[in-house]
Amino acid sequence: MSDYAIHVEHLTRKFGDFTAVNAIDFSVETGEVFGFLGPNGSGKTTTIRMLLGLLKPTDGTAHVLGTDIRHATRQFLAQVGYMSQKFSLYSDLTVANNLRFFGRSYGLYGQRLQQRMEFVIELAGLGDFRHTPIHELSGGWLQRLALGAAIIHEPKLIFLDEPTAGVDPVSRRDFWELLYTLSQSGTTILVTTHYMDEAEHCERVGFIYNGDMIAVGTPSEIIEQVVPGQVIEVHPPDALAAQQKLTSAMRSGELAAHGVNLFGAAVHVLTTDVASTQAYLREVYGATYQSMPTLEDAFIALVQQADHANGGSPVPA
Amino acid sequence: MIGHIITIAWKELLHLRKDRFLIPVFVIGGILELSLIAWATGQPIDNIPMAVVDLDQSPQSEALIDALDASDTLTHKQTVSSVDKVYDLMQRNDAVLGVVIPEGYGAAVTAGERPSVRLISNGAEAVQATEAERTAQDIIFRQGMRDAYHMEPADYESELPKVTVKYNEDLKRGWYTLPAESGFIFYIFTVILASLAISRERERGTYEQLLVMPYRSIEVILGKALAPMLVGTSLFLAMMGLTVFAFGVPFRGSFILLLVIALLYLMAEMNKGVLMSIGSRTQLQAMLLVFVLAIVDMIFSGYAVAVDTMPPAIRTLSNFVPIRHWLIIVRGVMLKDVGLSVLWPHVAAILAIGVVYATITASQYRRHTD
């Protein structure tokens, strides 16, 4: 257990009759970037809040940095960083004053505080704006500053709850660069996202859906397990009609595939029998494109399986 | 511990400094309010409108009416023909006192009697009515002594009760209202500030961040309390300065003693504010709570209604309202020059209320994260 930064067993949280988190198990190794994935309302934030000691579990246990989260102490809180989904900085204060507050809150003073503040200001690229009130800054900068504030005390573990929601793609990529840098210096990172392209950058991921942990592993393991084979992509004139048609062809056995998903204007057909599927699709739609399945394919397949097992309940909005 | 408290307090003061609305409103609003009250209550109650029904129309009755009109308190507004007309005037608020002089008044006075004069007072204007009645009775008495018995004041005054007014020798209303009102002003602003302290973080979404920082509950609460305390203490000093130097209310007791008790009092009120802050999700909710409780405070304070005249249950409850004790203390120190030997039960009450609020606040601080 000592190698785990986070070790969760049967963690459950109910709100009245509603089970937000249903007996989940997972572990995050020290130094790992762990992606915590799932649609909105699936239980990600509830789990994080339990792991931070903000919410008491209804059942099960969790150890974070060796501490039982039911007894989260100040010593424990001093070792973790948290960047919440909500805006966590004080918008009326300046960049420098926000960082000074965060630093002092974690017991940084004097020269050490100055060093760490400069480090974060540089990290966020806000050298010219240290005396600017936060509310005058734009999205990408704020995101980097919020991350910087969450790591000003060099935590061993950071929780990032949808850090890139609503941030442009370039800023998102810069942000992930930062995460890798942190990870390389030994920081354990648990990050939630619903951007599947981001999730592929994680060393390991966990899928949570309707409170259930439906898969945990490295992205390639999960893809291998859930969506073996390859993806044949076609671009029919009417993608929706084509998806329905191919689904029935798959069910009748006419098409040797195990998944037909809509991807915008394209249709992804998952198969292990690449040759015959490709031949079939070529005949109907002409050009086909071949690719490896992505985490998104796996996620869709997992959600379908879960819904099927639950009698086809719809995905919550 | 100290470092943490100072860090939170420093941040809170930064918020206040950035706020271009709150502090100016407090300072200007507070001074304006107190000045208005000083001005409005600084004047004695006088020129109360009086209507007269003179059924006698004799030189004696006219002399009485003149004597009444000559007082500062009463002004002879109208002479009407019947009591019903007096009621009419009262309904339109044109008269607070009616004086009915009976037929044969002049003859009776000449015969050496003191005939009864009827007074009708407008109870809807209770304060003015009481004053008018008291004055009219006094004048009618003196007029009777002079005209019926031919006695000068020196002849009968030795038989009247001797009245000595202590502490507020001229019964100036300002001496009563201003220390109380300044208490209300500096306390309400302090509670408002305190109530915003945590609800602001909640509303803006920064509360969770604060909760995952390695703070003890007590550090956050004390830190959050320090800024309102500073503002409250400054307001207290400003209000006292105005009350004493601008509006002439005497300060007879120990200022240091009052200052120390003021700090305890502020601490109790502010803990209440922080508790309301924890119970609210938004700043608006917190403000509404402050106002509801301020009305309760106003009633229980003994300022508008004397606590001794309240039913026993309410009187007991009023002991849990800090401002009730504060008003007794502030009058005691300023006007009566009394010290702790007299005031200690009230100081102890304030201290106890503060400790109770602080305890509840500290126990509630972490729980409300959902």
Contact between residue A144 and residue A125 where contact means Cβ atoms under 8 Å apart: yes
Q: Which residue has the tokens 């000592």?
A: A2
Contact B14 A106 (CB under 8 A): no
Structure tokens at A309: 């097992």
Cβ-proximal residues to A21 (8 Å cutoff; 6+ apart), any chain: A11, A12, A13, A43, A46, A47, A50, A57, A208, A211
Strand partners, A161: A192
Q: Which residue has the tokens 């009407």?
A: B80
Structure tokens at B97: 């006192």
Q: What is the pLDDT of residue B332?
A: 93
What proportions of chain B, in percent to the nearest 5, are helix, strand and coil?
70, 5, 25
What values do phi and psi take at A292, rounded to 5? -85, 150
Q: Which residue in B196, B173, B191, B198 sits closest to B267, CA to CA?
A: B191
Q: Which amino acid is at B359?
A: T
- Using DSSP, state whether B145 is helix, strand or coil: helix
Q: What is the pLDDT of residue B13?
A: 92
If contacts are CB pairs under 8 Å, which of residues 89-108 in chain A contact chain B? Answer: 89-93, 97, 101-102, 104-107
Query: Which helix (H) or strand (E) covers residue B26, if one does?
Result: helix B22-42
Contact between residue B214 and residue B268 where contact means Cβ atoms under 8 Å apart: no
Instruction: Kindly indicate the confidence band of residue B346, based on its pLDDT and cuts at 50, 70 and 90.
Output: very high
Contact A74 B209 (CB under 8 A): no
Residues B91-145 have pLDDT tens digits of 998 999 999 999 999 999 888 888 889 999 999 988 889 889 999 999 999 988 8
Q: What is the pLDDT of residue A1?
A: 46
Contact between residue A193 and residue A162 where contact means Cβ atoms under 8 Å apart: yes
Strands B74-79 and B48-54: parallel
Q: What is the pLDDT of residue A317?
A: 36
Query: Which helix (H) or strand (E) covers residue A284, if one does?
Result: helix A274-285
Between CA A48 and CA B140 the distance in angstroms is 84
Could you tell me how many residues make up chain A? 317
Contact B214 A54 (CB under 8 A): no
**CA closest to B216 among chain A residues:** A74
Contact between residue B1 and residue B219 where contact means Cβ atoms under 8 Å apart: yes
**CA closest to A146 among chain B residues:** B209
Beta carbon pairs, A and B, within 8 Å: 69
Q: In angstroms, what CA-CA distances link B132 with B160, B190, B192, B362?
A: 20, 40, 41, 54
Between CA A91 and CA B262 the distance in angstroms is 34
The answer to whether A4-223 and A227-309 have equal CATH topology is no
Whether A316 shows a pLDDT value over 50: the answer reads: no
Residues B36-45 have pLDDT tens digits of 888 887 777 7
Nearest to B212 among A82, A90, A101 (CB): A82
Contact B208 A106 (CB under 8 A): no
Q: Which residue in B304, B174, B181 sits closest to B236, CA to CA?
A: B181
Between CA A11 and CA A7 the distance in angstroms is 10
Q: How far A145 CA sits from the closest chain B CA (Å)?
A: 14
Whether B61 shows a pLDDT value over 60: the answer reads: yes
Q: Which residue in B212, B141, B310 sits closest to A83, CA to CA?
A: B212
Between CA A30 and CA A3 the distance in angstroms is 6
Between CA A1 and CA B25 the distance in angstroms is 58
Global pTM?
0.80
Q: Which amino acid is at A209?
A: Y
Rounded to whole angstroms, the maximal C-alpha distance in chain B is 93
If contacts are CB pairs under 8 Å, which of residues 106-165 in chain A contact chain B? Answer: 106-107, 109, 133
Instruction: Kindly indicate the confidence band of residue B367, based on its pLDDT and cuts at 50, 70 and 90.
Output: low
Structure tokens at B291: 């106002």
Residues B187-223 have pLDDT tens digits of 888 899 889 888 888 888 888 889 899 998 888 888 9
Q: What is the pLDDT of residue A10?
A: 95
Residue-averaged pLDDT of chain B? 89
One-character DSSP codes across A235-256: --SSHHHHHHHHHHHHHHTSS-
Contact A89 B11 (CB under 8 A): no
Residues of B contacting chain A (CB within 8 angstroms) = 3-4, 7, 10-11, 14-15, 18-19, 204-206, 208-209, 211-216, 369-370
Pick among B208, B218, B224, B281 to test the A interface (most A CBs inside 10 A):
B208
What values do phi and psi take at A159, rounded to 5? -105, 125
> Which H, E and C letters describe A16-82, residue by residue?
CCEEEEEEEEEEEECCCEEEEECCCCCCHHHHHHHHCCCCCCCEEEEEECCEEHHHCCHHHHCCEEE
b/e for A236-248, b at 16 or more Cβ within 10 A? beebeebbebbbe
Contact between residue A31 and residue A187 where contact means Cβ atoms under 8 Å apart: yes
Q: Which residue has the tokens 């100081």?
A: B347
Residues A189-213 have pLDDT tens digits of 999 988 888 888 899 999 999 999 9
Instruction: Kindly indicate the confidence band of residue B358, based on its pLDDT and cuts at 50, 70 and 90.
Output: confident
Q: Which residue has the tokens 């015969």?
A: B111
Contact A90 B370 (CB under 8 A): no
Between B346 and A177, whose confidence is greater?
B346
Residues A44-67 have pLDDT tens digits of 999 999 999 989 999 999 999 999
Contact B205 A86 (CB under 8 A): yes
Q: Which residue has the tokens 């007014």?
A: B165
Between CA B321 and CA B325 the distance in angstroms is 7
Q: What is the pLDDT of residue A311?
A: 64
Q: How far B224 CA sits from the closest chain A CA (Å)?
A: 14
Q: How far B212 CA sits from the closest chain A CA (Å)?
A: 6
The CB density around residue B47, as the number of other CB atoms within 10 Å, is 13
Pick among A88, A99, A147 to test the B interface (most B CBs inside 10 A):
A88
Between CA B14 and CA B228 the distance in angstroms is 12
Residues B322-341 have pLDDT tens digits of 999 999 999 999 999 999 99
Contact A80 B212 (CB under 8 A): yes
Strand partners, A24: A11
Q: What is the dihedral of CA B239, B243, B244, B250, to 10 degrees?
A: -130
Q: What residues in B contact A88, CB-CB < 8 Å?
A: 205-206, 208-209
- Using DSSP, state whether B119 is helix, strand or coil: strand
Q: Which residue in B207, B361, B369, B360 sits closest to A56, CA to CA?
A: B369
Whether B225 shows a pLDDT value over 90: the answer reads: no
Q: Which residue in A83, A81, A82, A101 sits closest to A92, CA to CA?
A: A101
Nearest to A77 among B213, B369, B370 (CB): B213
Residues A102-127 have pLDDT tens digits of 999 999 999 999 999 999 999 888 88
> A227-309 has which CATH code?
3.30.70
Q: How far A147 CA sits from the closest chain B CA (Å)?
A: 12
Residues B278-304 have pLDDT tens digits of 888 888 999 999 989 888 888 888 887
Q: Which amino acid is at B32?
A: L
Query: Which helix (H) or strand (E) covers residue A269, if one does?
Result: strand A266-271
Q: Which residue in A90, A100, A104 sits closest to A120, CA to CA?
A: A100
Q: How far A47 CA sits from the closest chain B CA (Å)?
A: 13
Q: What is the pLDDT of residue A2?
A: 55
Domain borders along chain A are: 4-223, 227-309
Instruction: Kindly indicate the confidence band of residue A167, based on its pLDDT and cuts at 50, 70 and 90.
Output: confident
Whether A315 shows a pLDDT value over 50: the answer reads: no
Contact between residue B268 and residue B359 where contact means Cβ atoms under 8 Å apart: no
Instruction: Kindly indicate the confidence band of residue B370, based on its pLDDT and cuts at 50, 70 and 90.
Output: very low
Q: What is the pLDDT of residue B53?
A: 94
Nearest to B208 among A54, A77, A91 (CB): A54
Helix axes B217-241, B340-364, angle to 10 degrees: 140
Between CA A87 and CA B204 the distance in angstroms is 7
Contact A84 B11 (CB under 8 A): no
Strand partners, A168: none
b/e for B64-94, b at 16 or more Cβ within 10 A? bbebbeebebbeebeebeeeebbbebbeeee
CATH homologous superfamily of domain A4-223? P-loop containing nucleotide triphosphate hydrolases (3.40.50.300)
